[in-house]
Amino acid sequence: MTYLIVGNNEENIKEEIKRLISKLWERDLNEDIFESKNPDIHILEGSNIKSIGIEDVKNFQKDMVFTPFKELVQIGIVFNSEKLTPQAQNSFLKTLEENSNTTAYILVTESERSLLPTVISRCSKIYTKE
């Protein structure tokens, strides 16, 4: 399962991520998933760097090889996915194609035009309200 959230309002994006995770975990979220240290949420943050390269993606993929610790599904979130280099996106493609029923990826971007068409084609798109 791979989702692409497109939007530029941080609050709306976070609400959409919470809604999606609640659905995937089949439970209400009582905790702040962005503040808590849930072992089944892995975040690749690209806010403080100019690009997210292939090494960043490979390290992220290593975090995602395990089965969920306490939830139904482990979640991998890539904020600022427009910063993924073409090489990083190509490296990520196989992971997106072959992920299991216990793994979900959420890519977040302001503009889907910055992603390769092959990446976009593997995602269910969600547009946030602006």
- How does pLDDT run along the chain (130 residues), one tens digit per residue? 899 999 988 889 999 999 999 999 999 887 777 777 888 898 887 656 788 888 888 888 888 888 888 899 999 999 999 999 999 999 888 888 877 889 999 999 998 898 999 999 999 999 987 6
pLDDT at 37: 83
pTM (two decimals): 0.90
Nearest by Cα to 103 from 14, 21, 32, 30: 21
Residue 82, CA distances (Å) to 36, 37, 42, 74, 121 in order: 26, 25, 18, 22, 15
CA atoms of 38 and 52, how far apart (whole Å)? 23
CA trace torsion 78, 102, 87, 89 (10° rounding): -60
pLDDT at 46: 62
